[in-house]
Structure 1
Amino acid sequence: MSVFAIGERDFTLDGEPFQIISGAIHYFRVHPDSWRDRIRKARLMGLNTIETYVAWNFHAPSRDEFHTDGARDLGRFLDIIQEEGLRAIVRPGPYICAEWDNGGLPTWLTATPDIVVRSSDPTYLTEVERYLEHLAPIVEPRQINHGGPIILMQVENEYGAYGNDRAYLTHLTNVYRNLGFVVPLTTVDQPMDDMLAHGTLPDLHTTGSFGSRIDERLATLREHQTTGPLMCSEFWIGWFDHWGAHHHTTDVADAANALDRLLGAGASVNIYMFHGGTNFGFTNGANDKGVYQPLVTSYDYDAPLAEDGYPTEKYWAFREVIARYAPVPAEVPAERPLVAERSVPLTHRVGWLDVPLDVDEAVTCDSPATFDGLNVSGPFVVYERDIAVEGDAVLRFNQVRDIAYVFVDTTFVGVAYRDHHDAFIPLPTDARGTLRVLVEDQGRVNYGPRLGEWKGMGTVELQGHILTGWRVTPCDPLLAERAAWHEISTLSDAIPGPVMLRGDVHVDVPENLYLDTSGWGKGAVWVNGFNVGRYWSRGPQHTLFVPAELLRPGVNSIMVFELFGVASAHVVCAAGPDLGHTEF
């Protein structure tokens, strides 16, 4: 069996220098039937390694579950990497950031009373050990010393930006070793003196995360680690997008020149991201540094391989650079084909209040129960109570996480956005009936001290009095399948929300679809029962990517949960992706 090790100046494979030229692909952001295609295209660009995080919450929706099938089949993903002739780097966290919901930590974990995550807290460490014990049978046999593809594993993730609990890092390292992980263990931090000092241990190999000022960053790494190979294990060549902001891109020539500087210096590299993929469903994370900023559905990241799996200008530029330092196959991937635009009617509708609520999960409480208290992973919960007001009245929300849509009976009266710090909603004069507040979880914070915060709403005041006696019920849009749907008579008319809409799209041969959401307000889309993600007229993203692998020849169902309203009852399939405007 092969041996991968850390030498005086290089990584070594069976005693010979080995320069890692890696790219990140997150298996949980790519349809599993696309894994081989994306990995093969990485090899065709000249990469010799694939890196992936492991998202704990993707595998463990509850404490007593750990799923490893289908899209969660990490073992199959690693096997395909090996079958394509590449090596693998695995980063199990337990915290991963990755702009992923809750930084990869399960909500049942972060909702545990008094738990202190990412620390030596015994309660937290007990759960981390259970997680890694679940993971070990998948990862341990696939290490290179057993004939598998894994050459490196990472302990924690950018810990120096969060804490300095060295006992925690030591404990994690010991758990890894006790579970049989014998490949070199690494840490990653931005190459700043305090972060590098706090985020690693002497027996862990320190790597950096950066995308520019290459010589300076490598020099800082070398100051903190006088021997061993230099590695940028997160070479940032793009960035992520927030709703309401612009689509981030980086200059192709600048990124290629930075890659050239890294490889020319003899450093190893992991391109973050080689292929970003998609935050399918409600898996996107969020950032909050005083203003809450949820991530969009696309995780394209301006990567060399676009969200839909086709090469970009950056792909060809990087391929040319890599060819100066390593063999690159003669085979090249195909360019994105032209897709004919077309319009598909949405033929049936049902109002959101006609969608059955999961009454078995309902609770009554004085203060509004949180999503966490209900053990609801999201993203919708309905809060209800009766009101009777004389004259004018104003609701005051103490906290909203993250959007509150307010109704009296069936009449929409206002919306409070967390990112706008909204607190007040005026009610109609003499408002009487059922006050309904539909609260949406827009994505949990994935970075910083707000990691693991609760979702829902805080206390609500009416005319200065705190409202009590709430009925709180999870709201699952998929329960609309049990409702009585009504045919839409005039497809050209606008339809107000909240409303569920559905229709069928016919395909002869499955191909990627790009659903144009520019005529819609805000919501989510399911194709053949699979949630392809959120959309929002705020942008920047204006198309949703539907992988061809989700479709079948013949009839395919589309269901839309629209919160505000649509211009007409149609789905427009665009000719290609539209991720929005870039920075002017």
Structure 2
Amino acid sequence: MDTFAIGDQDFLLNNEPFRILSGAIHYFRVHPDLWADRIHKARLMGLNTIETYVPWNEHSPVPGAFVTDDGLDLGRFLDLVAESGMHAIVRPGPYICAEWDNGGLPAWLFTDPTVGVRSSETGYLAAGSSYMESVLDVVVPRQISRGGPVIMFQIENEYGAYGNDKAYLQHLVDLSKRLGVDVPLFTCDQPFGAMIEDGSLPDLHKTGTFGSRADERLAFLRERQPTGPLMCAEFWNGWFDNWGTHHHTTDAAASAAELDALLTAGASVNIYMFHGGTNFGFTNGANDKGIYEPTITSYDYDAPLSEDGHPTAKYFAFRDVIAKHFPVPAEVPPGRMPVPTSSLAVSHSVSLLDVPVATHLVSGSVPPVELTGHYRGFYLYEASLPGGGVLSFSEVRDRAQFFLDGVPVGVLSRELGERSVVIPAGGRLQVLLEDQGRVNYGQRIGEAKGLIGPALLNGVEVVDWEVGAVDLDSLEAFRSAAVPLPPGDAAAGVAGPSVSFATFEADGPGDRFLRLDGWTKGVVFMNGFNLGRHWSRGPQRTLYVPGPLIREGTNEFAILELHGSATREVRFAVGPDLGSDEK
């Protein structure tokens, strides 16, 4: 059986020096029918290893669950890596950051306010241990020592940027070894200050995360770890985007020069990201360092392999660098071909507020949304107000639309720091609340979502709220309630909040790029699959539709529009448009 170990200066594969040339692909951000294609293209760039995070909250949407079907079949993903002749690195967290909702930690975990975050608190350790046991049921049989592809296993993730609870790290080490991990364990941290030391233990191999000044960063790492192979566990060659900013890109030649410096220095590398993929559904995270900044749907990351799986200029620049140091396959992946363009118009629609939502009546103060048992998406609050005036909250997490007897009266945005809205005198108040993504980095991980009380109307607390989750897992309730739109041309538009439907014919599977000019904000579905959020503020102007979602014959398109559109049409564009990269 094969072996993998850490030597005095090198990684050792079957006792021979081995350089890890890895690329990050998050299986949970890629349609499973496309996994093999993305892995194959990584090998063609000259890589020998695939790295992936494991998202706890995605596998465990409710306590006690560990879902591994369809796009969450980690075992199948690792098997495909093995079939490609490549190795694998697994980074299960429990915290992963990854610009992913709540950094991968399940929101249900923190409905108990006594549970700690990334610490040796007993409640957190118990839940995290159960999760790790489920992960290792998949990973342990697939270690290289047992004929599988897995050569390394990470403990936590950039923990030195958050804390230094050594008992927590030791617990993860002991648990991993007890459950059968025999490949090398490692940690990764930024090579600054005390992060390397705070985020690791003496017997764990330490790696760095950085995207520039490679020689300086490697020297910093070597000072703190005199022996063992040098490795950049996250070579940042791109970046992610937030709504309302420009599209981030990095110069291909400059990134290739940094990669060359790493390889010339004898270091191993994991390219983050090799292929970014997509934040489908409500999976995007957010940052909050004083200003709340939700991450967009695309996770293209300006990676060597684009969001839709095609080589970029950076791909070929990296391939040329790797070829200077190691053999590279002769095969070259093809570039993107233009896809057919067309347009379609929604024909049926229903007001979101007309479709009943199962609500809970909560006596007392306004509650967070977690009490619904749903931890993502949209929620409806309802209350009876004694009159009109200024309605204020301690905080809104994250965006609230206010309606009085069905008529819109205002919007409050966490991003803009808004906390009060003027409500006219009238009848029933409804508040459509959007969770725009849980914070994935820093001290606000694990916070509650919703209208954060007290809710004060002219200084007097409003109590006795009803709250429920808007069920978007199935669109059947909206589909059956939708009625034909009144006659009019495309410019007639659609009022919001509403869910509208259209159908179109296709010859069979194939990538599409949805362009939503004239629509404002909401969510898009293709044959019931949640493609993610759209927002006219950009930067991205198209949503990626993975080819396997399109079927031969009739297909259904649906769009949740929160405000209103200037058109009834959407277009299939010739290719992606992720926005301007000009600052």
The bucket for the TM-score relative to the shorter chain is over 0.9
Task: Please list the CA deviations of residues 512-543 of structure 1 after superposition, one character each: whole Å capped at 9, or x if unmatched.
Answer: 11111232110001111100100111110111
Mapped pair 1:410 → 2:406: yes
Deviations 1:368-412 (A, max 9, x none): 22122322212111111122426xx22212210000100101100
Matches within 5 A, 1:110-129: 110-129=110-129
1:553 is matched with 552
CA distance in 2, matches of 1:508, 1:356: 37
Superposition deviation, residue 70 in structure 1: 1.1
Structure 1 position 423 matched with structure 2 position 419: yes
Task: Tell me the SS of whatever aligns to 1:123.
Answer: helix
Whether 2:221 is the aligned partner of 1:221: answer yes
Q: Tell me which of 453, 463, 470 is aligned to 1:468.
A: 463
Q: How many Å separate the matches in 2 of 1:438 and 1:248?
A: 31
- Structure-to-structure mapping, 1:197-216, within 5 angstroms: 197-216=197-216
Q: In the aligned structure 2, how far is the partner of 1:140 from the partner of 1:39? A: 21
Task: Tell me the secondary structure at the aligned position of residue 565 of structure 1.
Answer: coil
2: CA distance, partners of 1:156 / 1:504: 45
Structure 2: where are the runs of 5+ without partners?
A: none
State yes or no: 1:138 paired with 2:138: yes
Q: Does 1:448 align with 2:442?
A: yes
In 2, Cα distance between equivalents of 1:90 and 1:555: 39
Task: Report SS of the residue matched to 2:209.
Answer: strand
User: What is the CA–CA distance in structure 1 between the aligned matches of 2:38 and 2:430, rounded to whole Å?
Assistant: 45
CA deviations on 1:193-224 (whole Å, 9 max, x unpaired) are 31011011111000000000111000000000
Specify the code of the residue in structure 1 equivalent to 2:476.
E
Question: Which residue of structure 2 lines up, in the alignment, with residue 533 of structure 1?
Answer: 532
Paired residue for 1:437, among 431, 438, 441? Answer: 431
Query: 1:152-551 counterparts in 2 under 5 A?
Result: 152-359=152-359, 362-389=360-387, 393-428=389-424, 431-458=425-452, 459-477=454-472, 480-482=475-477, 483-488=480-485, 489-492=487-490, 493-551=492-550
Q: Secondary structure at the match of 2:297?
A: coil
Q: Contact between 1:276 and 1:303, CA under 8 Å: does it hold in 2?
A: yes
In structure 1, what is the Cα distance between the partners aligned to 2:336 and 2:112? Answer: 47
| Distance in 2 of aligned mates of 1:463 and 1:173 | 54
The AA in structure 2 aligned to 1:13 is: L
Distance 2:263 2:580 in 1: 32
State the Cα distance separating 1:146 from its structure 2 match.
0.5
Identify the range of structure 1 (142-151 vs 512-521) with the bigger mean alpha-carbon deviation. Answer: 512-521
* CA contact 2:381–2:468 (8 Å) conserved in 1: yes
SS in structure 2 opposite 1:217? helix
Tell whether the 8 Å contact from 2:399 to 2:436 is kept in structure 1 after alignment.
Answer: yes
Q: After the TM superposition, which segments of 4 or more aligned residues of structure 1 sit over 3 Å from their partners?
A: 477-480
Equivalent pairs counted in the alignment come to 578
Length-normalised TM-score, structure 2: 0.98
Residue 87 of structure 1 is matched in structure 2 by 87
Further displaced range: 362-371 or 228-237: 362-371
Q: Is the 8 A contact 1:107 1:452 kept in 2?
A: yes
Q: Which moved more, 1:34-43 or 1:515-524?
A: 515-524
Q: Is the 8 A contact 2:366 2:462 kept in 1?
A: no
User: How many angstroms apart in 2 are the aligned matches of 1:283 and 1:563?
Assistant: 19
Q: Percent identity?
A: 56
Contact 2:361 2:464 in 1 (8 A): no
Separation in 1 of the partners of 2:193 and 2:472?
48
Q: Check the 8 A contact 1:491/1:570 in 2, yes or no.
A: no
CA contact (8 A) 1:247 1:541 kept: yes
Q: Deviation at 1:491?
A: 4.0
- 1:493-530 deviations in Å (ceiling 9; x for gaps): 02221011110121113211111123211000111110
| 2:21 counterpart of 1:21 | yes
Mapped to 2, the partners of 1:538 and 1:451 lie a distance apart of: 26
Q: Decide whether the 8 Å contact of 2:59 with 2:72 is kept in 1.
A: yes
Moved more, 503-512 or 251-260: 503-512
Q: Contact 2:475/2:528 (CA < 8 Å) preserved in 1?
A: no
Report if aligned partners of 2:140, 2:180 keep a CA contact under 8 Å in 1.
yes
Amino acid at match of 2:86: L
Alignment TM-score, normalising by the size of structure 1: 0.97
Q: State the alpha-carbon separation in 1 of the partners of residues 400 and 328 from structure 2.
A: 52
Q: Is the alpha carbon distance of 1:397 and 1:491 closer, same or farther for their aligned partners in structure 2, counting shifts above 3 Å?
A: farther
Q: Matched residues in 1 for 2:456 and 2:130: separation?
A: 43
Q: How far apart, CA to CA, are the structure 2 residues paired with 1:383 and 1:262? A: 53
Distance apart, 1:112 and its partner CA = 2.2
